[in-house]
Each structure stands twice: as C-alpha cells, then as structure tokens.
Amino acid sequence: MYTTTNETGQLNNYAKEPKMYYSHYPTLWELLGVMLAVSFAASAVA
C-alpha cells in the first residue's frame, strides 16, 4: 500500500493499481465453438 503524509501530518493511503492489459476480440473459431456449445446445451434441455 502506498502511503503519503501531508503538511498537517495526516496519512493518505492509496491502493495499488492493478496491472493493465488489453483484451482481444474472439476469433471466428472461438465464436463458432461457443455457438455450437450453447445450441447443444439448449437442445439437450428441451
């Protein structure tokens, strides 16, 4: 935890910021796999 002190002696605590990362769009094969899995699960329930 990051702590600072101002001129009056008050402590300010700052949370650690999480590491940033970029997400990626799913590929065509990932989308097709999800659609097939959902359709199979829906047909098994009905």
Report pLDDT digits (tens) over 1-46. 677 888 888 888 877 788 999 998 989 999 999 999 999 999 988 6
The predicted model scores a pTM of: 0.46
Would you put residue 29 in left (φ > 0), alpha (ψ -120 to 50) or beta? alpha
- Every domain of the chain and the residues it spans: 21-46
pLDDT of residue 11: 84
pLDDT of residue 35: 94
CA-angle at 23, arms to 22 and 25, nearest 5°: 140
Distance CA 27, CA 30 (A): 5
